[in-house]
Amino acid sequence: MPAARPDPTRLFQPIATRKHVALAVSGGSDSTALLRLAAQWQGLPRFTVMTVNHGLRAESVQEARQVAEWAAEAGLPHVILHWNSPKPQTGIQAKARTARYDLMSEWCRYNDVPVLLTGHTLDDQAETVLMRLARTTSLDSLAGIHRFSRWNDTELFRPLLGEKRQDLRAYLSSVGQGWIEDPSNDDERFERVRIRKAMAGLGDIGITAEALGELAWRATEAVEGLWRATDDWVKLHVQEFETGHCTIPLEPFAGQTAALQTRILGRLISRFGAGKMPEPGELELLSAWIATGGSRRTLGGAILARRKDHL
């Protein structure tokens, strides 16, 4: 049975009250489906399509122009942003991603557009979970890609995160819409490409994109529950002072699970330190240091000092 056509009303409902949002469209099948679905939707918000020309391939300029043509055919305004900085020799995909989101979020901030939509799919979610499983087995890593997140001052929303790529391509074919094939998607020098190709053989043992997406969703629920418990514990037990410090009572802290302890420490260090959450491994070591009676140390721009029955 063919998959049902994606429903724009269902997909875009979370942003139905926004006046103006941006769409990140590279021209690949996922983001092109995002463009076409946005064009189908009636009423608010107003959409602007953005394409980043990374300048990494000779075809980049023409591909950006192709997206501009498709946007015009769909009746949507389009802008091309250019990554003009010197290109790195290593870690090119990660650095290009950072540059891309920096450029788009800066455009959104300058043009008073609070939300940026991206075309991440269920396949991207599954690949991300497998990539993280290869590196770490923390609950946070299993949560994968979040439906909502932030980049600088811009809210990111991924309406296609529950949609399979093959279904989106079937939808594009049904409306006579082409897309651009990026040759880097077949370049096995990149980890995501290797994971994508490996996934093709995992379905026989039940490890499907749907199963991994379900795992990510359940992990996200668990992580969000832990953060709610963290904030409740901090509100109940931690005393904060206008001088820029706080106290943590050690006896109730010691009674918490390791997962909650690290989140309590991370939340407070980011609030009273340099504003950035330390890595999970650093927080686990810090929690162990507290349990063994350590007296003073620094982490994340914060000073931690033991004072009798509190930290």
Q: What is the DSSP string of 82-123?
A: E--SPPPSSSHHHHHHHHHHHHHHHHHHHTT--EEE----HH
Spell out a b/e string for 201-240, using b for 16 or more CB atoms within 10 Å of the CB, else e: eeeeeebbbeebbebbbebbeebeebeebbeebbeebbee
Co-location of 165 and 31 in the same domain = yes
What is the structure's pLDDT at 54? 82
Whether 194 and 260 map to the same domain: the answer is: no
Same domain, 173 and 246: no
In this structure, the answer to whether residues 191 and 298 fall within a common structural domain is no
Q: Is residue 223 part of a domain?
A: no
Mean pLDDT of 116-143: 88
Provide the pLDDT for residue 236. 94
Least confident of 128-137, 158-167, 223-232, 261-270: 128-137
pLDDT at 294: 79
Predicted structure pTM score = 0.84
For residues 274-283, give the mean pLDDT: 86
Q: Has residue 184 got a pLDDT over 90?
A: no
With tokens 């300048």, the residue in question is 55
Q: Which pair of structure tokens corresponds to residue 165?
A: 């790529």
Decide if 102 is inside a domain: yes
pLDDT tier at 47, thresholds 50, 70, 90: very high
Q: Integer distance in angstroms from the first to the last C-alpha of the chain? A: 61
Name the domain count of the chain. 2
The CATH number for 48's domain is: 3.40.50.620
User: Do 146 and 113 share a structural domain?
Assistant: yes
185 and 42, same structural domain? yes
> Percent of the chain scored above 90 by pLDDT?
52
The answer to whether position 232 is within a domain reads no
Cα 17 to the center of its chain, rounded Å: 22
Closest listed residue to residue 248, CA positions, set 307, 289, 294: 307
Kindly give the interhelix angle for 191-199 and 122-133, rounded to the nearest 10 degrees. Answer: 110
Of 92-101, 137-146, 226-235, 284-293, where does the model show the most confidence?
A: 226-235
Residues 168 and 244 reside in one and the same domain: no
> Above 60 in pLDDT, residue 1?
no
Q: Are the C-beta atoms of 305 and 294 separated by less than 8 Å?
A: no
- φ/ψ of 14, rounded to 5, equals -60, -20
Specify the pLDDT at position 222: 92
Do 18 and 68 share a structural domain? yes
Same domain, 87 and 35: yes
Mean pLDDT in residue range 189-206 = 81
In a domain, 221, yes or no: no
Q: Which of 88, 82, 84 is nearest to 64 (CA)?
A: 82
pLDDT band at 2 (very low <50, low <70, confident <90, very high): low
Q: Which domain holds residue 250?
A: 238-305
Closest CA to 39 of 147, 175, 169: 175
The residue-averaged pLDDT of 216-242 equals: 92
> What is the maximum span of the chain, computed from C-alpha positions, in angstroms?
71
Tracing tokens 């769909």 back to the chain, one arrives at 74
pLDDT band of residue 3 (cuts 50, 70, 90) is low
Q: How much is the pLDDT for 262?
A: 93
For residue 197, what pLDDT is reported?
84
Check: CB of residue 142 under 8 Å from CB of residue 216: yes
Q: In angstroms, what CA-CA distances link 72 with 78, 111, 290?
A: 7, 20, 60
* Average pLDDT rounded to a whole number, residues 137-144: 82
Q: Mean pLDDT throughout 194-213? A: 84
Cα 182 from Cα 166, distance rounded (Å): 16
For residue 2, is it within any domain?
Answer: no
Q: How far apart are the C-alpha atoms of 16 and 45, rounded to whole Å?
A: 6
| Same-domain check for residues 68 and 188 | yes
Q: With 80 as the cut, is the pLDDT of residue 185 above it?
A: no
Shared-domain flag, residues 163 and 206:
yes
Mean pLDDT of all residues in 30-59: 89
Are residue 121 and residue 248 in the same domain, yes or no? no
Mean pLDDT within 77-90: 86
